[in-house]
Amino acid sequence: MSEAVSFPAENLTPGVSAQGPLDRAIAEFAAAAVRADRVDPVLTELVRLRCAQYHDCRICASVRTQVALDAGYEESMQAKIANYANSDLSPEIKAALKLTDAMLIDPGAIDPDLAAELAAYFTPDQLVEICVDVMKWSQQKAFVALRIEPPVSDQHLTQLLWDKDGHPIFGEPIRES
């Protein structure tokens, strides 16, 4: 993590920057990304968490999407993401995480082998959804840069739910089973 960045968030003008036109429009793009549902929610959650790890986004790491929990996401999966290539995650998930890394690290160096591997597991609709998700799950980069993305809670993980339009709602603490 970086040294303490002292961005004066207290000087932000609501409606001009925070919750301003650009903020709200980015939120609508993010909601559109969330509404897409052609990819398995557990895979989507692992892509989200990979983005959180790569960017060191504290708010992203402090939540778990309820839709993924309902679909069978287990916390043990999160520990496998950092070394996913050597994990027992499914080949489909590994391919999606390779795509995530390629987009986040060096998209100019994606080779045809990866494209062929992805085509074996995903339709074009699903591939575009994953790529748009990586862009959406990188939304907090702007806040990481200014270090204005505190975790929802320091004490526990928190449910992340979506309203009917795809906007985020923070829910209850997640109890470890």
Partner 1 sequence: MQLLSHHSAAQLKVHHPEAGEELRRLEILLDQSSLDDGLLALCRRYFETELRHQPWDPPASPTPLEAACLEFCEQFRVSVDTMSDAQVQALLAHLSADDVYNLASAVYLLELSCRLDLTLEAVLP
Binding site for partner 1 (CB under 8 A): 1-9, 11-13, 16-18, 20-23, 25-26, 28-29, 32-33, 35-36, 55-56, 99, 102-104, 106-112, 114-115, 118-119, 124-125, 127-129, 131-132, 134-135, 138-139, 141-147
Q: Rounded distance, CA 105 to CA 23, Å?
A: 25
CB of 97 to partner 1, least distance (A): 14
Place of tokens 């995650």: 89
Interatomic CA distance for residues 48 and 59, integer angstroms? 12
Find the shortest distance in angstroms from Cβ 133 to partner 1: 9
Work out how close the CB of 71 gets to partner 1 at its nearest, in angstroms, rounded to a whole number: 21
Nearer CB in complex with partner 1: 108/175: 108
Q: Give the nearest distance from C-beta 69 to partner 1 in angstroms.
A: 24
**6 versus 155: smaller Cβ distance to partner 1:** 6
Nearer to partner 1 by Cβ, of 71 and 104: the residue is: 104
- Cα–Cα dist 149/124, whole Å: 33
What angle do the packed helices 112-121 and 91-105 form, to 10 degrees? 140
For partner 1, the closer of residues 159 and 162 by Cβ is 162
Residues 6+ away with beta carbon under 8 Å from 2: 147
- CB of 8 or CB of 83, closer to partner 1: 8
Instruction: Find the Cα–Cα–Cα–Cα dihedral 71, 171, 33, 74, rounded to 10°.
Output: -30
Shortest Cβ 23–partner 1 spacing (Å)? 7
Phi, psi of 170 (to 5 degrees): -85, 130
